[in-house]
């Protein structure tokens, strides 16, 4: 069930958190991988690569900055150049920064929108050509419950970007469906990742622990919980699922959204 044997997947933001867990999960299901790394983030891509190869899958790693069109197109191009096909992309790269509106500069706003929203658009746009040629494909993105369902004070730019991803997914699902391409997103709740552990720009460890005790499933969300959703959405079993934003939040927004 949900086999990905013979497929090739591109993942951005793959060195840590949800991206790293998704790489491991899809490799275990049979997919070869092209992984986007942003070395400035300081995460250990070598560990992800070692795990993927231990599972018997092929993997290529490229430095990528999703703010740069040429960089994104080069990353996605590796799939067809190295492996001869492209079946799915997971546009996962994103950042969060705390800025109250009154102090937010245009540079602050532009940085978040360019990475968290336009970066997804660049990744999808780069993948459409080979997917249309093949008559199949899965475009997948990480959005958030923030902006889609709930608010986050002092993160208006992040909320706007994540809401934009949801809107883009719904429209592209209609636009690209006739070409055999499905488009979906996952909206994680509070997941313990390096980003959410950031005590300055996000919740920090204490905040995550507090949230976990105030949601229906009384535990901390894990990157593997989101990776499981991507496994399904990337598979042939999800061929009739498109234009959806799958909320995976442990029931948090049932009570607090």
The residues near 90 (Cβ < 8 Å, ≥ 6 apart) are 9, 10, 11, 12, 19, 22, 140, 141, 142, 230, 234
Comparing CA positions, the residue from 30, 76, 3 lying closest to residue 239 is: 3
Which 8-state DSSP code applies to residue 216?
A: S
Residue 104 exposed, middle or buried by CB count within 10 Å (0-12, 13-18, 19+): middle
Structure tokens at 151: 């608010």
CA distance 221 to 3: 25
Task: Please give the positions annotated as active site.
Answer: 158
DSSP string, 31-74: -EEEEEE-GGG---HHHHHHHHHHTT--EEEEE--TT-HHHHHH
């Amino acid at each position: 069930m949900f086999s990905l044997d013979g497929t090739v997947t591109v993942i951005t933001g793959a060195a840590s958190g949800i991206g790293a867990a998704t790489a491991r999960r899809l490799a275990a299901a049979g997919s070869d991988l092209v992984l986007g790394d942003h070395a400035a983030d300081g995460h250990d891509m070598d560990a992800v690569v070692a795990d993927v190869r231990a599972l018997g899958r092929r993997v290529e790693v490229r430095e990528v900055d999703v703010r740069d069109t040429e960089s994104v197109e080069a990353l996605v191009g590796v799939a067809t150049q190295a492996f001869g096909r492209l079946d799915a992309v997971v546009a996962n790269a994103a950042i969060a920064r705390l800025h109250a509106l009154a102090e937010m500069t245009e540079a602050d706003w532009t940085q978040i929108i360019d990475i968290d929203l336009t970066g997804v658009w660049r990744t999808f746009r780069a993948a459409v050509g080979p997917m249309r040629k093949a008559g199949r494909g899965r475009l997948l993105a990480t959005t958030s419950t923030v902006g889609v369902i709930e608010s986050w004070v002092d993160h208006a730019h992040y909320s706007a970007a994540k809401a934009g991803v949801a809107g883009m997914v719904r429209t592209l699902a209609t636009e690209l469906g006739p070409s055999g391409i499905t488009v979906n997103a996952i909206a994680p709740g509070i997941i313990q990742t390096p980003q959410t552990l950031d005590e300055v720009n996000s919740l920090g460890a204490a905040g995550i622990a507090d949230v976990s005790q105030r949601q229906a499933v009384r535990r901390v969300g894990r990157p593997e919980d989101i990776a499981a959703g991507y496994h399904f959405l990337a598979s042939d079993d999800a061929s009739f699922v498109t234009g959806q934003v799958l909320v995976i939040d442990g029931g948090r927004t049932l009570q607090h959204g």
